[in-house]
Amino acid sequence: MRRKNVLVHAMAIGVLSFSVLPASAGTKVLEFQLVTKPIDPRVIEAPNIENQTIMQSRAFGVGVFKDGRIAVKDFVVVIDLNKGVGSGFGYSTYTFDDGSSVTARFTLEAKPNAVTHGDYKIISGTGAFAGATGTGTFDRVPSKLNVNLYNVKLNIVTP
């Protein structure tokens, strides 16, 4: 009986200690493959500048994790290219299967015959990622399909 009381008190102290301790920041690293497709892209040719274009588009994507979970990505992107070389930026919201989301600004660099690389700056989150900040990267993977395929890594920090 005494042992049972000691265990109950120890558990109560542990619960009380846990509940009064300040929450510590957590970091979650998410790595996945992302498939995206532009929705009604608009390409604008610059007047009097050969091969200078600006592309703007809404786009949609699906991220697939190794364990089979998925996330959907809704985003906008603007890309400024001259003869295949240029840069771009946009804003993405990833929504995960539990309803949580992460919103980030991204930048990218494009060069002919090179892997397109980009960086994320996480600006907000909801649900499990409420108050999120952090960074991330993405690299385009060659694909014979009429889609864009990327390897993505997000470093999400929550309060």
Q: Where are the domains of the chain?
A: 23-158
50, HSE (Cβ side, Cα atoms, 13 Å): 0
What's the pLDDT score for residue 14? Answer: 35
CA distance 32 to 42: 28
| CATH topology assigned to domain 23-158 | AOC barrel-like (2.40.350)
Alpha-carbon 158 to chain mean position:
14
Exposure string over 16-48, b if 16+ CB within 10 A, otherwise e: eeeeeeeeeeeeeebebebbbebeeeeeeeeee
Q: Which long-range contacts (CB under 8 A, 24 or more apart) does 74-78 make?
A: 75/36, 77/38, 78/54
The pTM (predicted TM-score) of the whole model is 0.80
Beta strands in 83-147 (DSSP E): 85-96, 101-110, 117-126, 133-141
Beta strands in 15-65 (DSSP E): 26-45, 52-64
What's the pLDDT score for residue 101? Answer: 97
What's the pLDDT score for residue 35? Answer: 97
Question: Which among 59, 64, 21 has a CA at the least distance from the CA of 38?
Answer: 59
Left if phi > 0, otherwise alpha if psi is -120 to 50, otherwise beta: which for 128?
alpha
Per-residue pLDDT of the chain (159 residues; tens, 9 = 90+): 443 333 333 333 333 322 233 334 799 999 999 999 999 999 999 999 999 999 999 999 999 998 888 999 999 999 999 998 999 999 999 999 999 999 999 999 998 888 899 999 999 999 999 999 999 999 999 888 888 999 999 999 999
Given a contact cutoff of 8 angstroms between Cβ atoms, the answer to whether 71 and 62 are in contact is yes
What's the pLDDT score for residue 8? Answer: 33
